[in-house]
Chain A
Amino acid sequence: MSAALLVRALRDPASVARLSAESWNGLIAVARAERLIGTLAHRLKGIMVPPSVAPILADARLDTMREARQALWEADRCVEALRGTGVRTILLKGTAYAAAELRAGQGRFIGDLDILVPRAAMPMVEKALMTAGWEWVKPDPYDDAYYRQWMHELPPMIHRTRDRMIDVHHTVLPLTARQTPDAAAMIADAVEITDGLYMLSAEDRIVHAAAHMLADGDLQGGLRNLWDIYCLLPDADPVVLEVRAAHHGLLPHVRQARRLAASLYGEGARLTLWDRLIRARLLARNGWGQETRKPLVFAFYIRSHWLRMPPHMLARHLWTKWRKGHRPQ
């Protein structure tokens, strides 16, 4: 119920005027759990809120400002590290939105620095980053080999002194996934933001966000990913978006993302049964910020692995991880 409260507050900020203290507590806990408190704080700017809520929102705005500044500095350091390699720094997700001052970036939580580079350039990029002070996070040889063979990114690296993570992608989905987006086309059509920073075209940004949310992963943080998509949509040409999504093999995902975004944050949409299941998963949080609907959440967790790799590979992978002591949360 409380995740629905968050969705309503984002869609219609004025609706918070009628909230009880208990509902406010639920709204704030869920917004923090979904890492949307900064976005909420941004949306509620200028709206009358109870005196005890105002400082909570002000703090959240302060935090997102600091995060954006930190993220942009990391991006700047990355450009510097890749200088001389001839590889452009194409920013993905949060850092791109912040750098380009997109609506999706307003108040957005920004975690790691995600960049996209051509696959052929990966060894060179890796070397350049290590020279500049980034180092491996995962010492496990199995994980390392797995990433390199099958994933769409290098194993995550962290900067030695700044303690910030970088994810270097060469495409947008694992190589074992059923869809194979055209990463080369995305890189070719990237647009410059400023100062040597690039991001995907308006349409590819949505394709990437939809792929990330719906063709990969277990919908953890899905409300935030969907908010991104909702905010990115007005910048894209709907016709070009359809063509582009089809080219990347992700048309059903992009269409579904549009339906879900319209249903949760926009004017509403007619949902399929499958859409409704995803919506139920997205809203699975109670007023304490805890995940609810455990079987559904677990089913999506299983599905995320199912999507990522063929069954025999999945079985081997899970067995290896289990032996190493990994258990699903």
Chain B
Amino acid sequence: MKHELTLRIGPATFRIGSSWAAPVDQLARLYAAYPQASGTIADFTVRLQPTSLARRWVRPSIFITGDHGLADAAPMSLAHGLLAAEMGMNLQMALGWRRHLLLHASSVEKDGRVLVMTGESGSGKSTLAALLGERGWRLMGDEFALLDLDSGAILPFPRLVSLKNKAIDVVAAEVGDVRMGPLLRDTAKGDIRHMIPRGDAVARMDDGAMPRLLLFPRFGHDADVRAVGQGEIFMRLTQASTNYVALGEPGFAALARFVQAVPARAIDFPSGEAAFEMVERLWEELA
């Protein structure tokens, strides 16, 4: 392909090829602090290619695919090329990664112990992870938490943090423009802006740690903390995992161990500040 870039993020290496320069240029800028990976053998190939011959030039339209693809994936405009590249990497992980149990979750670490947060899109887990990552925690990732099948550790996968809509201003105010990507307006999920994780998140992206607390955050409700039964946690995590079925018995064993060893709570919160305080308090009590 005409433009390419190889990125290593945690244990996975991606070779990204694009028919257009812009997405690759943006990736190169935002991932500049990550380890040099060009010329290495990648785990996955990601391709950003036109949906048809003409659509390379006329109203450019990106089809996201690669080693693993979805035939009916919705095309994206070139203005959202950066998001397309990020989604391309997500797609490869979600469909192809087998070396760890993938949990659709954010994770942060403090004192060698990991807080895992999982919930549906819009639950606030990315925002929360981004804020914690600025305030004394190490950001491990906001999209996937990788659960090691043997050791039970959580491994970092610190990609750019994808912030949506109202969360953009909240986090940008705290982080500053230098570590923010371009504002992508009117994507399928509204406005999106990416944040570059802090230097320590990148520098320590090979350091895993044991999970000590699991939270199911939910944004937009009055503050509340609830216990969650182990059976329900197990079911919710199997639904939050894209490769649980593919891994078979080792995946089951690792997840069962995780659920038994890690205390969990569901938390509702009305604002980032409230959530921050709740998390700190629960961490003191439970972790």
Q: Which residues of A contact B (CB under 8 A)?
A: 21-22, 24-25, 28-29, 32-33, 50, 52-53, 55-56, 59, 62-63, 66, 288-290
Give complex CA distance A291, B40 in Å: 23
Report whether A63 and B246 are in contact in the complex, using a CB–CB cutoff of 8 Å.
Answer: yes
Q: Does B218 contact A (CB under 8 A)?
A: no
Given A55-B99, A59-B99, A288-B1; A21-B246 close (CB under 8 Å): no
Interface membership of chain B positions 1-36, coded 1 if the CB is closer than 8 angstroms to chain A and 0 otherwise: 100000000000101010000000000000000000
- In the complex the two chains form, is A25's CB within 8 Å of B1's CB? no
B54 within 8 A of A: no
Q: Whole-angstrom distance from the CB of A162 to the nearest CB of chain B?
A: 11
In the complex, the answer to whether A24 meets B67 with C-beta atoms within 8 Å is no
Name the residue on A nearest B13 (C-beta): A52
With A25-B41, A52-B40, A53-B41 as contacts: A32 and B99 at CB distance below 8 Å: no
- Residues of B within 8 Å of A289, CB to CB, are 45, 47, 66-67
- Bound complex: CA A24 to CA B15 (Å): 12
Give CA–CA (A242, B49) in the complex, Å: 45
A-B pairs with CB below 8 Å: how many?
Answer: 47
Interface: B39 (CB within 8 A): yes
For the complex, what is the distance from the CA of A21 to the CA of B38, rounded to whole Å?
A: 10
Most chain-B Cβ atoms within 10 A of its Cβ — which of A53, A56, A66, A288? A288
Closest Cβ of chain A: how far from B258's Cβ, in Å? 20
A62-B98, A288-B1, A288-B17 known; A50-B47 Cβ under 8 A: no
- Whether A290 touches B40, Cβ cut-off 8 Å, given contacts A32-B67, A59-B99, A62-B98, is no
Seed contacts A56-B43, A290-B49; 8 additional CB < 8 Å A-B pairs: A22-B39, A24-B41, A25-B41, A28-B45, A32-B45, A32-B68, A55-B43, A66-B246
Q: Closest CB of chain B to A94's CB: distance in Å?
A: 18
Q: Is B176 an interface residue (CB 8 A)?
A: no
Please, how many angstroms separate the alpha-carbon atoms of A29 and B15 in the complex?
10
Cα separation A62 to B98 with both chains bound (whole Å): 9
B17 CB to closest chain A CB, in angstroms?
Answer: 5
Q: What residues on A are CB-neighbors of B66 within 8 Å?
A: 289
CB < 8 Å neighbour of A288 from B13, B43, B47, B98 = B47
Report B81-100 CB contacts with A as 1/0, cut-off 8 Å: 00000000000000010110
- Taking a contact as CB atoms closer than 8 A, the residue among B41, B43, B45, B68 that contacts A50 in the complex is B41
B248 part of interface (Cβ distance < 8 Å): yes
Chain A min CB distance to B49 (Å): 7
Alpha-carbon distance A33/B99, docked complex (angstroms)? 21
Is the C-beta of B262 less than 8 angstroms from some C-beta in chain A?
no
With A32-B67, A288-B1, A289-B67 known as contacts, the answer to whether A25 contacts B45 (CB < 8 A) is: yes
- CB < 8 Å neighbour of B41 from A21, A32, A290: A21
B279 is an interface residue with CB less than 8 A from chain A: no
Bound-complex Cα distance A28 to B68 (A): 12
Closest residue on chain B to residue A294 by CB atoms: B53
B171 within 8 A of A: no
- Give A29 to B41 CA distance when docked, in angstroms: 11
For A33, what are the chain B residues with a Cβ–Cβ distance below 8 Å?
Answer: 67
B98/A59 in contact, CB under 8 A: yes
B66: nearest residue on chain A (CB-CB)? A289
Chain B proximity of A68: nearest CB distance (Å):
12
Asked if B168 CB lies within 8 Å of chain A CBs, one says no
19 contacts between A and B (CB under 8 A): A22-B39, A24-B41, A25-B42, A28-B42, A29-B67, A32-B45, A32-B67, A32-B68, A33-B67, A52-B13, A52-B40, A52-B43, A59-B98, A63-B98, A63-B246, A66-B246, A288-B47, A290-B47, A290-B49
Q: Which residue of B lies closest to A50 (CB)?
A: B41
Residues of A within 8 A of B13 (CB): 52
Min CB–CB distance B139 → chain A (angstroms): 25
In the complex, what residues of B have CB within 8 A of residue A21's CB? 39-41
- Give chain A residues whose Cβ lies under 8 Å from the Cβ of B15: 25
Please name all residues of chain A whose beta carbon is closer than 8 Å to the beta carbon of B49 when the two chains form the complex: 290
Chain B minimum-CB-distance residue to A26: B45
CA of A289 to CA of B49, assembled, Å: 12
Contacts of A56 in B (CB 8 A): 43
B39: min CB distance to chain A, Å: 6
Between A25, A33, A50, A56, the greatest number of chain B beta carbons within 10 A of the residue's beta carbon is seen for A25
Please, which residue of chain A has its CB at the minimum distance from the CB of B96? A59
Q: Which of A29, A59, A62, A66 contacts B45 (CB 8 A)?
A: A29
Q: Give the docked Cα–Cα distance between A295 and B68 (Å).
A: 25
Considering the complex, give the chain B residue whose CB is closest to the CB of A49.
B41
Measured CA separation A62–B40 after assembly (Å) = 24
Contacts of B68 in A (CB 8 A): 32
Interface residues of B in 41-90 (CB under 8 A from A): 41-43, 45, 47, 49, 66-68
Which single residue of chain A is at the shortest CB-CB distance from B38? A21
Q: How far is the CA of A305 from the CA of B98 in the complex (A)?
A: 39
User: How far is A29 from B65 in the complex, measured between Cα atoms in Å?
Assistant: 12
In the complex, A63 Cα to B218 Cα: how many Å? 35
The 8 closest A-B pairs by CB, nearest first: A59-B98, A32-B67, A52-B41, A29-B45, A24-B41, A21-B41, A288-B17, A288-B1
- Chain B residues with Cβ below 8 Å from A29 are 45, 67
Q: B96 contacts which chain A residues (CB < 8 A)? A: 59
Cβ contacts under 8 Å, A53 to chain B:
41
By beta carbon, the residue of chain B nearest A24 is: B41
- Chain B hits for A55, CB < 8 A: 43, 99
Give Cα A308 to B13, complex, Å. Answer: 43
